[in-house]
Amino acid sequence: MKLTGRFAPSPTGVLHLGNLRTALASWLSARSAGGRWLIRMEDVDGPRCHRDLGEAQLRDLSRLGLESDEPVLWQSDRSDLYHEALATLHRAGWLYPCVCTRKDLQLLASAPHSEDGLRPYPGRCRDRAWEGFNRALRTRLPEGPVSWEDLVLGPQADDPEALTGDPLLFRRDGCFAYHLAVVVDDGAQGVSEVVRGADLRPVTATQIRIQESLGLQRPTYAHLGMVAAPDGGRLGKRAGASGLEALAARGIAVPELLGWLGWSLGCIDRPESCRPEDLLVHFDWTRVPAGEVRAPEGWA
């Protein structure tokens, strides 16, 4: 079977160095294996997502030379598919309505914050009777720990119960949750390799469990270390500062950026200007460092 990789940004802002590194790594992995590479816009989270931000992200990817092999999917166009998935989960008895407010959950939280600030849902509404699809909906998960072999991090094992608890799949405001959309679309698009930032590692076990409930194939995962600002701070906070446009304004052209990205992925010994194709023969997951990388001075 042909490898199918994808880059799935949320159109909530400018693609920063960390996003661009993820995009390049997934492209290199798919292309070097002779596989397909897709771009998907994850714009289910209504108010924070904007089409024009997504269009700008696509232009930036194109400037880097990274083009999707198929028309770009926008999750906001795919509600029917997510509804179907909810119906499947409901028929199998996994779903229940949840009436907990954010405040309830804060008051209820007995479990300490986990390492990444996630608080598992304590299951308060688990026994509520079904009231139809127009409620906030959570899913139970098949029990027990989940293990997977991460292409960057090596062997991983997590208990979704301890990290997220039963995830919310449909919100009271009518939005589908990211966990549902990402799993459904990876399945529908035949994605066999998920490359993304290590910030999503803690929710991977939960997503694998949702896949299992829906009878979908499990992809291979690669969680890349985050790119930090030159001073070690979070890049996301001032994302625009390390976007393509901001870099260009500082005189950093695309080939130089690609050279740094390729070097940070272990493809080349020194950050020398290049094109993405130049990196293909050198790409190898075993050479991709697992830890955080810092952006060069003056780049963010």
Stretch of residues binding ligand GLU (CB under 6 A), selected from 8-16, 208-216, 220-228, 281-289: 8-16
Q: Which of the stretches 6-14, 87-95, 135-143, 285-293 binds ligand GLU when contact is defined by CB under 6 A?
A: 6-14
Nearer residue to ligand GLU within complex by CB, 123 or 190: 190
Residue 263, helix vs strand vs coil: helix
Residue 182 makes contact with ligand GLU by CB under 6 A: yes
Buried b (16+ CB within 10 A) or exposed e, 160-184: bbebbbbbbbbbeeebbbbbbbbbb
* Residue selected from 3, 4, 5, 10 as contacting ligand GLU according to rule CB under 6 A: 10
- Which residue in 87, 38, 50 sits closest to 188, CA to CA? 38
Reference 65, options 219, 237, 262; nearest CA is 262
- The least CB distance from residue 5 to ligand GLU, in Å, is 11
Q: Does 180 bind ligand GLU (CB under 6 A)?
A: no
Helices (H), 118-203: 160-163, 178-188
Q: By CB under 6 A, is residue 194 in contact with ligand GLU? A: yes
Token digits for 27?
Answer: 């492209």
Q: How many Å apart are CA 83 and CA 229, to the nearest integer?
A: 40
User: Residue 153 phi/psi, 5° resolution?
Assistant: -90, -10
Residue 15 binding ligand GLU, by CB under 6 A = no
Q: 96: helix, coil or strand?
A: strand
Stretch that binds ligand GLU, among 77-85, 136-144, 194-202, 285-293 (CB under 6 A): 194-202
Q: Is 8 in the site for ligand GLU (CB under 6 A)?
A: yes
CB of 219 to ligand GLU, least distance (A): 10
Which tokens is 214 given?
A: 């829906």
Q: In this chain, which of 5, 9, 120, 225 binds ligand GLU, going by CB under 6 A?
A: 9
Q: Which residues are near ligand GLU by CB under 6 A?
A: 8-10, 42, 182, 194, 196, 200
